[in-house]
Amino acid sequence: MTQYTKRDNFVAPAPRQHVEIVPIGEQLPMLPTAQTSVTLHTTYTDRSVGFQVATVPISIAFGVGALVVAVVGYSVPVLSIGALMVFWLAFLGWWLLGWAIHHIASPDGIALVQAILMYRYVRNEQRERLRRYASLRAKDGADHE
């Protein structure tokens, strides 16, 4: 036997404690866990110019790359409506992706996402609270019969 398997150093775990869940007497004020404070030293025009500077060059590059793949890989004529459509759709797709990311990552987008997530949190908490109240009522009804 080793020193770890001897029974003279065994410590029994503490007995389980019974925890009673009591109903909430009043609704607690709920503060968001992450609070944002937006201090703008620029204008929305500056933000939109920054968005254009960041997304238009990469969108053009993506459109040109898609056009090269279409011309070389799929024998699309360079000067055709098909080539124009490939370029435009690739450009537009990348630009829309950048637009969505830009708006979600902006201060206004972060506040919107936080409000949506807080609404989901409150809705789930209310659903659980009402389920708990219903189970307490059912338990009280069974005790009185």
Predicted confidence pLDDT, tens digits, the chain (145 residues): 566 666 666 777 888 887 777 666 666 666 767 777 777 787 888 888 989 999 999 999 999 999 999 999 999 999 999 999 999 999 999 999 999 999 898 888 888 899 999 999 999 999 999 999 998 888 877 665 5
123 neighbors 31 (Cβ within 8 angstroms) = no
66 neighbors 87 (Cβ within 8 angstroms) = yes
Q: Which residues contact 36 (CB under 8 A, 6 or more apart)?
A: 107, 110, 111, 114
45 neighbors 51 (Cβ within 8 angstroms) = no
Could you tell me how many helices (H) and strands (E) the chain has, helices first?
Answer: 3, 0
- The per-residue pLDDT for 85 is 96
The encoded tokens of residue 11 equal: 């410590």
**Measured distance CA(32)–CA(115) in Å, rounded:** 9
DSSP 8: G
